Amino acid sequence: MKLVNSDYDIATLEDELRVDALCRELLLAFYSDRLGAGIDEHEATLLANSADYFIRDFLIGARQLNILEPGSGVVRKFAGNWYIVNTLEPDSSELAAHLKGICEFYRFLAAQQAITAAAFREIENECQDSGYYRQRIDSFWDIQGDGYFAWEEECSLKNG
């Protein structure tokens, strides 16, 4: 499978719809790859659903980012902010499952040589920072008064 980076660029609504369709196909390929690697259907579904949530809801829908060049710190912004404020009951175990799917999806992309090994390592490291994300969820629940602004600034979606 040859993935062309520029195919995943988003500049218009039409691009977003096209990239979303490409990602559906790519996620199905990821799911099939997981099955081929001996992962059972339930686990493969969980991994693909988590990758789908990150890719299509966050990277494409919320951020209009190229999934093959998401940028430094993007998983951290997802897990340390966006997931928390966009989930009715953010939970560290649910987030851990999402991070596992994200990591496995980007491992798949690295194996396809769609991203560099260095880019994968950065994503992998961000996916493994569970203590930080647990602290972010806990501190979110502890916000009082206008404390949200300081909380958001620590892991802001506003920059980059």
- Res 147: pLDDT: 93
- Res 160: pLDDT: 58
pLDDT in tens, 91-137: 999 999 999 999 999 999 999 999 999 999 999 999 999 999 999 99
**Quick check: 1 pLDDT over 90?**
no
CA dihedral 127, 124, 160, 156 (to 10 degrees): 20
d(CA 84, CA 92): 10
d(CA 13, CA 30): 25
